[in-house]
Amino acid sequence: MRQTGVMAWVTGAESKADLLMEAARRAADFVSVERDRPVVPTAEALDRLGSITFNATLDRPLDAQNVIAMLDEIGSAATVSNTGGRYFGFVTGGVEPVGLAASVLAGAWDQNTALPVMSPIAAHLDALAAEWMVDLLGLPSRSIATFCAGASIANLTSIITARDTLLREAGWDTAADGLIGAPPLTVVASEEIHSSAIKALRLAGLGSGSVVPIPTDRYGRARADAVPTTTGPTLVLLQAGNVNTGYSDPFADIIDQLDATRTWVHVDGAFGLWANAAPERRDQLEGIARADSWATDGHKWLNTPYDCGVAIVADPDALSQSMRMDAAYAAGTGGRAPMNLSLQMSQGARAIPVWAILATLGRDGVAQAVERCCRHAERFADLLGDAGIDVLVPPVLNQVLVAFGDDDHTDAVIAKVQASGDAWMGGTTWHGRRAMRISVSDTSTTADDVDRAVAAIVAAA
């Protein structure tokens, strides 16, 4: 009889290798048919999820091989196929094959990258990938990048750094004295700034209720002619890539109006910042390099495995002063220490898949991937427009907004397409009107995928 429970795992390297080989075999089988699967799980697959709880409990553990088999046989069918080319929801990226493979190897290494001494290979690739990211995204070479869980955390990291720097320049030490009694700090933001930036303001102790909004135009861009005049320390939040339309704020025109000595400009560019990596789209971000910090995702347009975000700060010392921590057991390790550049101490090696993808694609490959998604978005708009469907905003990046008559009918069409299994798009409300939101973020998407999705939409309409 095979052992169960904890002892099933403590059987030496051979057993560990066997488990990894079995998991790898099943994973390879899964990805080999990912483009043939329905985009969403079937009702039967969802019903089977309950058997996981039925078959395994804390008081009745299973053999490790059986656990892997159960994960595959029940779990694989209950996944959303966001890597199969026809998932267009939530700006969810697919995965580059080399990034997936690198993450498998990195998972076997299981490195904690808090300090260079804890993983020389992870530290080396972290520094290299960070340098490449700054270069690829067209940001000032002195800038420093740090990897984190996603753009939400990158926004928080950057906003905390901005808060501390602005208050320090006003004579207040946030690290020592906290925020009670601190000088006032004004926050100005596009009225359509992403909700993750607003959440970051709350978590940073700046609140969301006192934000001074910049009105936006019909494309969701902050209006340069409506930027408020402020006095004292000011944090300005702008965005590259409106989450609905893909349009970016006019950075140069807005920054020209600001007092550089008392203002910190942060850009939420979860996906839109990647336009700077594509020569044909770069003009949309004119002036963005003049900001003080930027947040983006690797797991959106670079198609890294989940999760991967990047915070980039123009002044490395500012980031270090906000994020560093002192501990006797961590002193004297030297080098670039991720724990002193981010919110976490212990952290996984997110930079390894990033490095693998950048090393494989290179500058031109990344540009082509971004441009390909943009062209697919244009194809969506053209084909749906030709079918008589209302395209609300001309696409400039990877986002498309369409509507189908009244709000109820639009929601009904969205639900039909989602249930079809042929494609998946979400809904949103754009300037008071319900709309289907199409986001082309999987770099494996093909023109045939777009055509199949369009056919499903037209049939549902």
- pLDDT tens for residues 43-102? 999 999 988 876 667 788 888 999 999 999 999 999 999 999 999 999 999 999 999 999
- Same-domain pairing of 185 and 324: yes
Distance between CA atoms of 438 and 399, rounded to whole angstroms? 6
- Same-domain pairing of 113 and 227: yes
Query: What average pLDDT is seen over the chain?
Result: 95
- Same-domain pairing of 114 and 200: yes
User: Binning pLDDT at 50, 70 and 90, where does residue 2 land?
Assistant: very low
168 within some domain: yes
**pLDDT given at position 4:** 44
- Same-domain pairing of 178 and 234: yes
195 within some domain: yes
- Same-domain pairing of 342 and 245: yes
- Same-domain pairing of 110 and 77: no
- Same-domain pairing of 345 and 384: no
- Same-domain pairing of 114 and 163: yes
Burial of 265 (0-12, 13-18, 19+ CB in 10 A): buried
**pLDDT given at position 361:** 99
- Same-domain pairing of 149 and 280: yes
- Same-domain pairing of 325 and 383: no
pLDDT at 234 over 90: yes
pLDDT at 265 over 60: yes
What angle is formed at CA 53 by the lines to CA 56 and CA 67, rounded to 5 degrees?
45
The helix-helix angle for 97-109 and 13-32 (nearest 10°) equals: 160
Q: Which of 81, 110, 142 is the last residue of a domain?
A: 81
- Same-domain pairing of 352 and 382: no
pLDDT at 402 over 50: yes
Tens-digit pLDDT profile for residues 284-306? 999 999 999 999 999 999 999 99
**pLDDT given at position 3:** 42
**pLDDT given at position 72:** 97
User: Binning pLDDT at 50, 70 and 90, where does residue 12 land?
Assistant: low
- Same-domain pairing of 148 and 244: yes
Classify residue 131 by its DSSP letter: H
362 within some domain: no
pTM of the model: 0.95
94 within some domain: no
Q: Which of 325, 357, 389 is the last residue of a domain?
A: 357
287 within some domain: yes
Distance between CA atoms of 333 and 327, rounded to whole angstroms? 11
Q: Residue 263 is part of a domain; what is its CATH number?
A: 3.40.640.10
163 within some domain: yes
Q: How many distinct structural domains can be found in the chain?
A: 3
Q: Which of 81, 113, 147 is the last residue of a domain?
A: 81
Residue with tokens 């009745």: 60
**pLDDT given at position 54:** 67
387 within some domain: yes
Q: Which CA distances in Å does 61 have to 5, 48, 65, 71, 172?
A: 5, 19, 12, 14, 55
Which carries the bigger pLDDT value, residue 46 or residue 9? Answer: 46
Structure tokens at 238: 């702008």
Where in the sequence is the domain holding 106, given as residue range(s)?
101-357
Q: Residue 380 is part of a domain; what is its CATH number?
A: 3.90.1150.10
